[in-house]
Amino acid sequence: MNGNLGEPLTEWGCEHLIERILIPADVLQRRIAELGEQISRDYAGKDLLLVCVLKGGVMFLTDLMRHIHVPHEIDFMAITSYGAGVRQSTGIVRILMDLQTNIEGRHVLIVEDIVDSGRTLDHILRLLWTRNPATLRVCALLDKKGRREIYVPLDYVGFEIPNVFVFGYGLDLDEKFRNLPFVAVLGAEAFPNLQASSPIIVGRRKSEAVE
Ligand code: PRP
């Protein structure tokens, strides 16, 4: 098993955690190139600002912008979806770091790694609309549609994925493995190996895989 980069998974130190590769690196890159081309066409002649939601969106942003052939700027927001402890279904969202850019009159495209319940994105959209952008759209690499709790409009989607715990390509497993060039599914047998304090174990992260 490898992530389609030729290296065996043992090179990444996570082989024992992976049930299967959900999206291999080459498939990811092909789709990201398509998204970049589509965005380039849609924003031709427009003053585009990409807003990346940290931390998960970083890998996606840096690959996507290489395929966006219209002049554009980037900025970052850091958001946390949940409180410090157990996951809340009340949609508690905190802004840890705000944009540096004034988005009034700008064409803003939010770049997200994954949309799950939709609560993080809903919060960001509501906040950014109050700042009067010319347009405000969303590009999400992964859409875990089956988990949606609140409607959010997604203008560009890389892949619709099933309700499984995924990590890699920006998405973390206890803050690690964001560097993987592929998206992997966490194996059920990996759970006993995770620390009891892991957010996955206490249910902070979003996955029905935690029973
Ligand atoms: C992830 C992801 C989205 C959010 C989606 O961020 O990057 O921002 O969760 O979940 P939702 O649709 O249920 O709100 P996370 O809070 O894991 O932070 P991170 O990107 O820093 O890992």
What the chain holds in terms of domains, given with CATH numbers, is 25-162 (3.40.50.2020)
Q: How far is the CA of 132 from the centre of ligand 1 (A)?
A: 24
Q: How far is the CA of 133 from the centre of ligand 1 (A)?
A: 23
The pLDDT value recorded for residue 195 is 58
Cα(84)–Cα(86) distance, rounded to whole angstroms?
7
Contact 150, 119 (CB under 8 A): yes
| Average pLDDT value for residue range 117-126 | 93
The pLDDT value recorded for residue 86 is 43
The pLDDT value recorded for residue 7 is 58
| Average pLDDT value for residue range 19-28 | 96
Of 116, 147, 150, 161, best ligand 1 pocket probe by most atoms within 8 Å of the beta carbon: 116
| Average pLDDT value for residue range 60-66 | 98
Atom of ligand 1 nearest to the CA of 82: 16
pLDDT at 62 over 70: yes
Confidence of residue 65 (pLDDT cuts 50, 70, 90): very high
The pLDDT value recorded for residue 198 is 63
Within 6 A (CB) of ligand 1 lie: 53-56, 79-81, 112-121, 172, 206
Degrees, nearest 5: CA angle 63-26-55? 35
| Average pLDDT value for residue range 38-64 | 97
The pLDDT value recorded for residue 85 is 44
- Give nearest CA residue, ligand 1 atom 21: 55
pLDDT at 154 over 80: yes
| Average pLDDT value for residue range 19-45 | 97
Nearest to 113 by CA among 57, 174, 188: 57
The pLDDT value recorded for residue 90 is 53
47 three-state secondary structure: coil
pLDDT at 89 over 50: no
Tell me what the pLDDT averaged over the chain comes to: 87
Q: Which of 63, 116, 122, 143 is catalytic?
A: 116
Of 117, 120, 149, 207, best ligand 1 pocket probe by most atoms within 8 Å of the beta carbon: 120
- Give nearest CA residue, ligand 1 atom 14: 120
Contact 18, 12 (CB under 8 A): no
The pLDDT value recorded for residue 37 is 98
Q: Which residues of 29-63 are buried (b: 16+ CB within 10 A; e: fewer)?
A: beebeebbeebeebbeeeebbbbbbbbbbbbbbeb
The pLDDT value recorded for residue 98 is 96
The pLDDT value recorded for residue 115 is 96
| Average pLDDT value for residue range 166-190 | 93
